[in-house]
Structure 1
C-alpha cells in the first residue's frame, strides 16, 4: 500500500523538528539574554573611570621632534597618525609609522605599521609599557580600588579568546571583583583597549551559539547558519502543510461518518 503525502510530510516535520529543536532553543535563550541585558553592563561601562584630561598649561615640543627621533632610530619611511595621549598623567605622542618589509624572492614587498611612543615634553622615544606601568594604567581606569588578582602577558590570542583581533602585545590585568573584570592594556599603544567581565563572556558565548560561527563567532554568513535557516523554513512550511492536510482529512472523515449514520 502506497504511503500518503501526509505520512511523508509528518515524518519530515518530526525529524526536522528534532534536528533543529536544540538550535531553536539556543536562538531563543540567546535572544532572551540579548533583549533583557543592559548593554552598558555587558560592555563594563559602569566599571570604566573617565580618562583624566591633560592640563592646558603643558609645555609640549612639536611632534616633528618626535618624528625626527623616530627616523634616526627606526626605518619608518612615512607616518599614518600622530596622537597626543596621556600615560599615568604624563603627555605622550603616540605615532603610527610605516615601513616596507622585503619579502623573499618572488613576493612583493608589503607595508608594515609600528606604533612608537615619545615623551611629548622632550620628543624622546620611550619604551613600551612595562608590567608595572600596565597594572597602574589598568587600575587608574577601573572604577573603584579592587585588588589585582592576576596579570598575564599576551603575545598571541586564538579565535575564541575574549581579546581576539585586538592589538598585541598586551597585559591582561584581572581584578578581585564580583564581575571578574579583566582590563587589557596594549603595551605598544600605551592605552587600555578592552574591558571584559562575566556578563560580556556570557553574551559572547550565546552570540556564538546564535550566529553558529564556531570559528570566529562573528561571521553571519557561514554555511552552517545558512543551512539551518533554510531547514528551519522547511520545518515551518511542512508544519503548515501538515496542519492543512490533517484538517482536510479530518473534514473528510467527519463527512464519511455522517453519511454512515444516515
Structure 2
C-alpha cells in the first residue's frame, strides 16, 4: 500500500469512527459532569432519611431458639438472623435458604410468634418514620414484579412504593417481607440512573460495566486515537522537514 492510499484510508476510518465515537464521548462527558457536580448524598436520598432509633431491649425478648427449633428443619440454611424493630416493636428478621430459594420470615421479639408481612397501612407508617421532612403521601403502589430498568430493580419483592409530595418529592420503597425501608428514589436519582446507563452502555440492565458494547467502543476509541497520531506524524510538515534534514545530513556524510 502506498503512502497516499494509507493516508486516505486512515483519514476515512478516522473521520467515521470519530463521528460515531464523538457522540458517545459527549454522553460520557455529560454524565461525568452530572456525577461530579451533584451531591451523591442527595441522589441516594440520605438527606431525607431519618436516623434510625436504637432498639430498646430493656424489656425481655425471647430467645431465637423459641422459633428456630420449632419452625425450621435441617434442610433450611439460616443466612442471617437480626433483632430489629418494626413500628417500635422488637422483631426478629430471619433470612434463610430452602429448596424454594431464599426467603424471609419475621417473628415477634416478645412472643416468638411469626409475624405477617407488612400491610399497606404499616408500610406507609414505616415510610413516614423514615422520612426526615414532613410530607404527605400522594400514591401507594404494591409491587410484585419489576423489570430490568425499574428503579427498584434487584431488590426484595413484594414491596410498597410510597410517593411523597414536596418538600420530599421522593418515592420510598418498603419491603413487605423484610419489614423495612429498602431505598429512596427521587428525580435526581432517576437522572443519575439514566446517565449511568449511557455511561456504562448497558442498555439491558444498566449495571454491567463489562458488557461487549463498552469494550468494543473502548477499542475503537484507542484505534481512533492511534490513527489520529499516525496521521499527524505522516502529514506534519515539521516532522517531514526534520526527517528530510536528517536524511540530507546522512547523505552529506
Matches within 5 A, 1:72-87: 77-87=76-86
Q: How does 1:1-262 map to 2 (within 5 A)?
A: 3-71=4-72, 77-101=76-100, 112-178=101-167, 180-248=169-237
5+ unaligned residues in a row in structure 1: which ranges? Answer: 102-111, 256-262
Give the whole-Å Cα distance in 1 for the aligned partners of 2:201 and 2:48.
30
- Deviation, 1:116, is 0.8
Task: Tell me if the contact between 1:75 and 1:99 (Cα under 8 Å) persists in the aligned partners.
Answer: no
User: What secondary structure, in the 3-state scheme, does the structure 1 residue paired with 2:173 have?
Assistant: strand
TM-score (norm 1): 0.85
- 4+ long deviations beyond 4 Å: 249-252
Distance 1:242 1:150, change over 3 A: same
CA distance in 2, matches of 1:117, 1:45: 26
Q: Give the SS at the match of 1:4.
A: helix
The 3-state SS of whatever aligns with 2:149 is coil
In 2: Cα distance, 1:212 partner to 1:160 partner? 13
The separation in 1 between residues aligned to 2:178 and 2:3, in whole angstroms, is 72
- Whole-angstrom distance in 1 between the partners of 2:186 and 2:18: 35
Please report the TM-score for the alignment, with normalisation by the length of structure 2.
0.88
Instruction: Show the counterpart of 1:105.
Output: none
Equivalent pairs counted in the alignment come to 241
Q: Which runs of 5+ in 2 are unaligned?
A: 245-253
